[in-house]
């Protein structure tokens, strides 16, 4: 699976949009971009994933650049409860017996009142 | 209505003891996983089972033995506990071992070996 690079930490004001970047310059054509987050003392939580088109769900939006070498997770109106470590993960489609999530260090997003 | 549950939530034990952590999912998923999160907060996969069959074993010491009595349960037994086994252990499940399916994580079991 391709390696990802994320900033170690970011701050965001409550009510503002939080934009979390991720670089995955070695991504392959069959690899998806996944985002998970881990709120303190809880298990990781799935947020969103995409291949090459932008995606939106009730939690966030995912913007993937045309060359697919980077992406941005957008939380449109961050709240204090969005304070968490956000993980950008790239993994193959149809992983078969090698299916697994490889977590990096992630980005600690702190939402401030 | 907990989707993925783990017991116990906390486990404090002495070195050398044998302990088990249980995991159950009520999502009807085929695949279950065990992850370990160490003190540096790195989250790494340990095992994965698909329909009671082991499909991933990530070079984990053989003191760790997963057991899946049915596809809704994946338990983790640890023999001869060592100090370095202290960590948070997360169970997860997904609809299948192939494809894009997302994983759903349990709340974690915090193991402290003294």
Of A44, A45, A99, the CB nearest to B43: A44
Of B48, B107, B108, the CB nearest to A100: B48
Per DSSP bridges, beta strands B10-13 and A84-92 are: unpaired
A32 neighbourhood in chain B, CB within 8 Å: 100
Q: What six digits make up the tokens of A3?
A: 């390696």
A30-83 pLDDT per residue, tens: 888 999 999 998 999 999 999 998 999 999 999 999 999 999 999 999 999 999
- Count CB neighbours of A45 within 10 A: 16
Q: What is the mean pLDDT of residues B30-41?
A: 90
Q: How confident is the model at residue A99 (pLDDT cuts 50, 70, 90)?
A: low
Contact B46, B37 (CB under 8 A): no
Among chain B residues, the shortest Cα distance to A51 is held by B100
Alpha-carbon span B28 to A54, nearest angstrom: 30
Torsion of CA A26, A29, A35, A41, to 10 degrees: -70
Starting at the earlier edge strand, list the strands of the sheet with A61-64.
A18-23, A70-75, A61-64, A55-56
């Amino acid at each position: 699976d391709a390696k990802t690079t994320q900033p170690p930490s970011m701050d965001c004001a409550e009510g503002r949009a939080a934009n979390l970047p991720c670089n995955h310059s070695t991504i392959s054509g069959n690899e998806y971009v996944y985002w998970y987050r881990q709120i303190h003392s809880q298990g990781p939580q799935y947020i969103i994933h995409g291949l090459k088109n932008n995606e939106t769900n009730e939690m966030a939006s995912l913007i993937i650049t045309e060359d697919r070498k980077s992406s941005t997770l957008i939380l449109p109106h961050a709240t204090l409860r969005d304070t968490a470590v956000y993980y950008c993960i790239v993994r193959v489609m149809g992983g078969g017996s090698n299916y697994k999530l490889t977590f990096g260090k992630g980005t600690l997003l702190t939402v401030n009142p | 209505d907990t989707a993925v549950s783990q017991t116990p939530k906390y486990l404090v034990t002495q070195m050398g003891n044998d302990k088990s952590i249980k995991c159950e999912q009520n999502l009807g998923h085929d695949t279950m996983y065990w992850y370990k999160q160490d003190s540096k907060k790195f989250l790494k996969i340990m095992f994965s089972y698909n329909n009671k069959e082991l499909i991933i074993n990530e070079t984990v010491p053989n003191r760790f033995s997963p057991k899946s009595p049915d596809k809704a349960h994946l338990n983790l037994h640890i023999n001869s506990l060592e100090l370095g086994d202290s960590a948070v252990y997360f169970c997860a499940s997904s609809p299948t071992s192939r494809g894009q399916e997302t994983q759903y994580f349990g709340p974690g079991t915090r193991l402290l070996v003294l």
